[in-house]
Amino acid sequence: AALVQNGVTASGDTSDIASIGSLFYEPLAIYCYGKQPLMRLYALRGGRIGIGAAGSGTRVLALAPLGANDIDASNADLEPLEGNATMDALIAHRVNATFLSAEPATVANFRTLMQAPNVHLLSFEYPEPYLLRFRYLSKLTISAAAFDIGADPPRHDVTLLASTVRLLVHFGTSPEPVDLLIQAAQKINGRGPLLEKPGEFPAALRHSWPFSDEAVRYYKSGRTFLYRVLPFWLASLISCLWVMIVPLVVVVIPALQFAPTSTAGA
């Protein structure tokens, strides 16, 4: 199993890979330097922009909306900065904007940037065109006060673009590990931290990857009957025996029809 950000694509054959659910949001936070908040992303043309290191999920998410606004290396300086380095560069006005996602997009970092002078979080006034073009993105609306209740936040909600992180397995993975993985995700991710509602994840969202049949079954009806009524070890043992017995019965019963039979003599 693997955790993979929506929007990340592989160069190899992925026909054997299936999703068993989305686990949490990865917001794409765009902070800009200026006296006034930036209202449109295309205003960054000609500027210096921190977009994350090569191969990072942040860069994947950043290049999509930038490309939709015809911003690329030909008309802007796209810097491979991330984490504390890109935050420091923005606060010192060495870059005009920076993209944060994944681990750097923490509440502590959000609070640091929102309290920095002349640094503003970009709110997407019209996110729908991005959602239509990039199906792996979601709209995430939050209150700026969620990051620092004691501060003087904007008096309106902030709309961000966000990806989700999927839990992937191989097609044909048996029901037992799929059930256990989804149950663990419900226990860990179902509590609803700051950016998610309680019970919102794991979710059967269909974006970049096909969905596992076992996951579809779990979200519709829960655990299989054996795992609901028996201890895990016993249910696993019966499932394994069942896998071996059914093919054997399919072969043996037709074969018995052709077995020689004895008749009693007079």
pLDDT in tens, the chain (266 residues): 999 988 887 777 888 999 999 999 988 999 999 988 888 899 999 999 999 998 888 999 999 999 999 999 999 999 999 889 999 999 999 999 999 987 666 777 888 888 899 999 999 989 999 999 998 899 998 876 666 655 555 567 889 999 999 999 998 888 888 888 998 999 988 876 667 788 889 988 876 788 888 888 888 877 766 666 777 667 666 766 666 676 666 666 666 666 666 555 54
Q: Are the beta carbons of 92 and 33 closer than 8 angstroms? A: no
Please state, in angstroms and rounded to a whole number, the distance separating the CA atoms of residues 244 and 256.
Answer: 19
Q: Are the beta carbons of 31 and 97 closer than 8 angstroms? A: yes
- Counting DSSP H helices and E strands in the chain, the numbers are 8, 8
Task: Give the residues across from 24 on adjacent strands.
Answer: 165
Please state, in angstroms and rounded to a whole number, the distance separating the CA atoms of residues 163 and 8.
Answer: 10
**Beta strand pairing call for 158-170 and 138-142:** antiparallel
CB burial of residue 151 (10 Å; 0-12, 13-18, 19+): exposed
